[in-house]
Amino acid sequence: MLELGAGADILRSLGWLYVGLIAFLLIAALWLLTRWWQKLMGVIIVLLVFTGPAYLRHQERSQIVDERKAKYEAAKALFDERCKTAGPKIYRTVENVEGVLLLSLRPDDKAVNRANPNWPDAGLPDEAGGDAYIRSFLSREHHQDKRNLRGYLSYAPSDLPGYRYVDVLNEDGSINRYTLSDAGNPDIETEKKGD
């Protein structure tokens, strides 16, 4: 049991005094009263006086717990319902894809953003942003071992190549296409694809 010093001993003593007082009053009710119905009424009165307030507090707490549980269940049901229709949906998968269209770019990581708790990417502060985000789609993946674990990205040749191109949707509706400038070079070239 966790000991809290002298305060714990005092509280423990008060608890035993409380129990002792109840026991003393129960014995007194049984000893001093003469008729059986008086003894029964005395015991009931002692128990109601000393345990009634605790029972009422327990009922209030139980009601509060039930109300909070009902609110939680309602909120969870709403959350689960909204999760069914949230975010983009994947309707089919396609093999041997040469490129990808990014509808939005992750912004470049700035040092001032790391101290901002309202920064949209606060949960992923070390993820690539801007041009590095685009390069991550063009890079080749390398495994350190042969298990099915994710590897690291590099521009060196690999049996797991990245995409050949990445199209990025601009705010004005135009699309820019990004490709690696030449094999093994991490620079990217941009060409305007169209509006």
Percentage of the chain exceeding pLDDT 90: 11
Per-residue pLDDT reduced to its tens digit, 26-36: 888 888 888 88
Q: Which single residue is written with the structure tokens 């319902």?
A: 81
Whole-prediction pTM value?
0.45
**Residues 10, 17: Cα–Cα separation, whole Å:** 10
Residue 68, pLDDT score:
96
Give one DSSP letter per residue of 74-126, joined into a string. Answer: HHHHHHHHHHHH-S-------SS--EEEESS-PPPP-GGGGG-TT-TTTT-TT
**pLDDT band of 53, cuts 50, 70, 90:** confident
Asked if the model's pLDDT at residue 109 lies above 70, the reply is: no
Asked if the model's pLDDT at residue 67 lies above 80, the reply is: yes
Asked if the model's pLDDT at residue 51 lies above 70, the reply is: yes
Beta bridge partners of 134: none
Select from 26, 30, 28, 24 the least CA-distant residue to 47.
Answer: 26
